[in-house]
Structure 1
Amino acid sequence: MASEDWLGLNGSVWREVMCKWSVAILVSLHDGPMNFSSLAKRLGVSNKVLSKKLRRLSGFSLISESYGGKGYMLTDVGLELSQLLKPLVAEGVSPAVIQAVLRCKWMPQILRALWLRDMFASELAGSFEEISWKVFSERMKKLEEFQLIHRYVIPSHPVRVKYGLEARGRVVVRWMLQRGALLREKFLELQRSQRPGELIQAPDNVL
């Protein structure tokens, strides 16, 4: 079984749709149909990759050919997902960052822990029983690269490092609190509409 992410989700639908290109496609089609070449140019993706992602999204009934067969448009379900994800992109959070954070077990939890106050590295790592220091350090490095958190040194003896949320990190946490449960439900509905196969598993309380 694939490891669960922050929402307790795993399965083919979640993995396929929550990739950076699929998210980018859904958001790009939010404002109306686009043809293949325009979509490829906007995303900066190869024709091969775009074709594959469009087929997958079409197979999940998230997009369809637009009227006249000259482009692609969102289905009602695709539009609902796009409406959930678009606010993040509008605030400057890239599809690649959305994919990396939302499909990770630990990064959303780290961000939420920093929501109320800044924390020392050891204190923050210690608040998660199952995470190793190596994994914690890797996730913190990624979150810094994504410009979601920052760190600063406390001039003590020994020197200590403290972490806090960047403005963009607060945008992500606020979005998770407001829309995370709804996103989870949409994916569960989407999974149930597919052919029998991998099941998405989700705990009762994820927020």
Structure 2
Amino acid sequence: MEDLSGQMKSIKDQFTTEQLLSIIRQLISFHAFQLNSSTKPWAGKFTKCAIEDFELYYYLPKLLCYGDLGPGNILWKNESEDRIPEFGAFIDFQQAFEGNPLFDIATLLNNVDNQTRKELETKIFQEYLLTLKCFLNSNSQKSITSLEIEKAYKYALVHEAILHVAYKAWSLETIDEMWINNSKTMLEEAINFLETCGKNWFEK
């Protein structure tokens, strides 16, 4: 069996902006494929989202999500010091589930520092909306707005904020000042977002 370890990043690595956009374009293509499909043969065959009526919160269709889109689960081609690596493939699908289509994008942006994440969010929402509409065929056109995309992303970011802290239990030696600042900022954003939602997420 071929050793592919040299084509992936360490879980300690962060994505570059170019790599993030490359991955997100692949996700958009995958989402469009699902939306264009009339049969949906994957439905009911993967882990269910904990919030099964999530469409009431996100206003977006339920899609198959990768579930664990970290640096160690993506293969790259032509990675060298003098060449920009090209997206190769996703691997390790054991956490795939049906749910919020913005979940994987929130996971990706969890792998950069807060400043980069905030700089990229609006750009990525626009890229997602425009590119998705280009991929969709006439039979699957749905009126998806940037506000719906942003809201779905923020719900996913709540989950990522919790995981960002929980996952460090397996790698305490990698905790540094940037990770601490990222964790605080993400948790604060998650709390602020949930407090603005109509549903009461907190016990008084």
Task: Identify whether the pair has TM-score above 0.5, normalized to the shorter chain.
Answer: no
Larger radius of gyration: 1
Q: With CA pairs under 8 Å and 6+ residues apart, which has the higher RCO, 1 or 2?
A: 1
TM-score by length of 1: 0.32
